[in-house]
Amino acid sequence: MLKIHALTYNPWQENTYLIAAENGDCIVVDPGCLSDEEQQNLVSYMADNHLKPVRLLNTHLHLDHVFGNRFVCQHYGLSAEAHQADEFWIEQTVPYAAQMGFTLTENPPALKRYLEHDQIIEFGGSTIKVLHVPGHSPGGVALYMEQEGVLIAGDALFRESIGRSDLPGGDFDTLITAIKTHLLTLPDQTVIYSGHGPSSTIAHEKIHNQFL
């Protein structure tokens, strides 16, 4: 069984997730660590919990979800993976950060592999299914772990809310359709871990999410 560790970083309070196998190998998802202190916090947390990062996945490539990409790639010798439709954001990271009041000197490293809809990632004796959920960002994906009953939803679906769709490549109708088609069809007891805020379940969102 895989275990999910959650850490929260940067001014947007972005949730960074570690998907850990029983042997200590882990997948880093959306490293949002911005400052030196946050980066060292991530390193210390993994060391304290005897975790070894072996892969880096991004649910999408918005600024707040990739602040730590370069650090994680360099520190652990990894390469980032995300959906190809979000690749354009990489070259926009530094200028967009400047617009938001942050000074970055380098864009995140280029992607080495792409995530695709319905892709199955074998990890730790379990499986992680990639679900393409565009609308917040064109390359947005969610990561579904059926055996564990867990969904890492990125910024597509939040507790009683959904992701914004007014950024480049976003589209409200596309997002709603993707959520209803690929996420709300998962078992009701599935636990949702979002890119920001608290966790939820599919059952809770079916009843209480006013957007759906």
Q: Domain containing 52 — which CATH number?
A: 3.60.15.10
pLDDT (0 to 100) of residue 114:
99
Q: Would you call 152 helix, strand, or coil by DSSP?
A: strand
Q: Residues 77, 153, 170, CA angle at the centre, nearest 5°? A: 95
State residue 72 phi and psi, 5-degree precision. Answer: -65, -40
pLDDT (0 to 100) of residue 93:
97
* Percentages of the chain per state (helix, strand, coil), in multiples of 5: 25, 30, 40
pTM: 0.98
Q: Structural domain tally of the chain?
A: 1
Residue 162: domain span: 3-208
Give the confidence band of 104 by pLDDT, cuts at 50, 70, 90.
Answer: very high
Which tens digits make up the pLDDT trace of 29-70? Answer: 999 999 999 999 999 999 999 999 999 999 999 999 999 999
Distances (CA, A) of 27 to 19, 20, 89, 97, 175: 5, 7, 22, 26, 26
Structure tokens at 154: 């990125």
